Structure 1
Amino acid sequence: MKKSIFITAIISTVIISMLVGAGTMALFTSNAVNANNPFTAGTVIIKDISAQPAVSTTKFFSNLAPGDSEIFDVTVQNMGTLAARVNIKEIQKSGTIFEGKYPLTLTVQDNNWQIIEPGKTATFKVVYNFSLEADNSYQGAKGSANIVVYAEQVRNNVQKTVLTADLTKSPIAASGLKTSCTAYYDSGYGVHTFVNGDNFQAEFDLTSTPSTAVLTLNQLSSMIPGGGYSPINLIVNGKYVLTEYQPKGSAGYVAEDFSIKDYLVKGTNVIKIEATSKMRSKYWLRDLTLTMQ
């Protein structure tokens, strides 16, 4: 027998808009909150900063029962004079309806960035699910949620791209990179360990070449203070950036930065780190970060 549960939830929507003013390179920010409304989702209005941005929400939830599920729209409207790129940054939840073993869940479908021209709209779909397993402890439960929408100008907005690989994980945890590694994972040290001939490769695609590209290697040459010799080669798209380079890390990891922008190309790129045959000690690579603009 399905148990009826009366649930009252409140949602307020936050909009952070970043629009540039004439004669300045500064990015303005603003916040607008439409608080103390029923649990709703509707149109978020982006206006010029000087026009005091406003928020409007229009969907009401009530009398939810275990097993209820629905997809609702959050529509963002650009009422400013500049194109904006937007996405839902986060959903902040509070209250007993979001607690316990079977909480009400809210998720965003396909939360990719969308570009909105002035006067146009973009729509995001949010799903709520209330577990069929929810018991009588949820009767009368209440909660509130803030859908936080982030917007920023498109013009003169140079985007930073950060690609990462975490070699303390097995398999390697990568973001934006397709990786392969012949080094073995040392569970005792919790990191991939390189010996003669081992290599790590990271592949990624670029639609255009960046103006800056910094590769950060968090690495270690020896666990013994003052000891160890484990030179590496750093190769980007078949060209040597470093040859038989001795990492600075000794008895502790050191993050070292290397500019590789001159080695990157439009299309597919491959970064390779290889342990040379001259190694007399092991080499540990903890993580890798590529930051581009």
Structure 2
Amino acid sequence: MGKKSKAGLSIGAIMLAAALTGGGTFAFFSDSVTQSGSTFTAGVVKIEDVSETKGFSSSQYISALAPGDTDTNTVTVKNTGNLDVWVRINEEASNATKTGALFSGETPVVITYDSDGAKKLAPNETATFKVTYEFPLKADKTYQEAQGKFDVVFDAVQSRNNDEGKGPKTWN
């Protein structure tokens, strides 16, 4: 390569470097903005027993049961949280609370729970559940003056993202 070619190539390289350097000093107008105030708060699942009477206290025979007696009590539960919920009677947990001689032996008092299953409640909505006791007619004199006590335990779980239409996918 000759001196002229090398000189031309050198001048071209210098001009390219100058153009790149000069172009880097020019800027476009720009700006940015921040959207602030995105605060997240988790919802609340909470239920309350809002029944007018608690337990079977209004039952005609509760303090003097005789074989063959039966009665049904309604329990009203209210969703006091801010999420839609599924509510149910937890039969296993309720049965675990049974104490006393009326719930033991060969012909104990039998408790049955609402067969409607889970009920979906919006915030501030209520639902009633039925609880029935039956003192078997075959109960013998060993149950005289026997007592028993139990609690009805309810579970609630969110329905949003946990809904199969007839109940929740999971109670956990």
TM-score (norm 1): 0.36
Contact 2:72 2:132 in 1 (8 A): yes
CA positional deviation for 1:145:
0.7
How big is the shift at 1:29?
A: 7.6
Whole-angstrom CA distance in 1 between matches of 2:116 and 2:152: 12
CA RMSD for the aligned pairs?
Answer: 2.6
- Report the Cα offset of residue 104 of structure 1: 0.3
- Contact kept, 8 Å, 1:82 with 1:118, in 2: the verdict is yes
Gaps (5+ residues) in structure 2? 1-39
Task: Give runs of ≥4 in structure 1 deviating > 6 Å.
Answer: 27-30
CA distance in 1, matches of 2:126, 2:41: 28
- For residue 161 of structure 2, give the secondary structure of its aligned residue in structure 1: coil
Greater helix content: 2
Counterpart of 1:135 in structure 2 is 140
Residue-pair matches, total: 117
Task: Map residues 69-218 of structure 1 onto 2, 5 A cutoff.
Answer: 69-90=70-91, 91-92=94-95, 93-157=98-162, 159-160=168-169
Q: Identity over the aligned pairs, expressed in percent? A: 38
Q: Is the 8 Å Cα contact of residues 78 and 118 (structure 1) preserved in structure 2?
A: yes
Partners of 2:81 and 2:45 in 1: CA distance? 13
Q: Please list every run of 5 or more consecutive structure 1 residues that lacks an aligned counterpart in the other structure.
A: 1-21, 33-42, 46-55, 162-293
Task: Point out the structure with max Rg over C-alpha.
Answer: 2
Which amino acid counterpart does residue 160 of structure 1 have in structure 2? Answer: K
Write out per-residue CA displacement over residues 72-94 of structure 1, whole angstroms, 9 at most, x where no aligned residue.
11111112222111010122212
Structure with higher RCO (Cα < 8 A, 6+ apart) = 2
How many Å apart are 1:115 and its aligned residue?
0.5
1:10 is matched with none
Partner of 2:18: none
The separation in 2 between residues aligned to 1:28 and 1:81, in whole angstroms, is 5
Q: Residue type of the partner of 1:125?
A: K
Cα contact 1:78–1:116 (8 A) shared by 2:
yes
Instruction: Report SS of the residue matched to 2:142.
Output: helix
Equivalent residue, structure 2, for 1:266: none
Distance in 2, matches of 1:115 and 1:99, equals 34
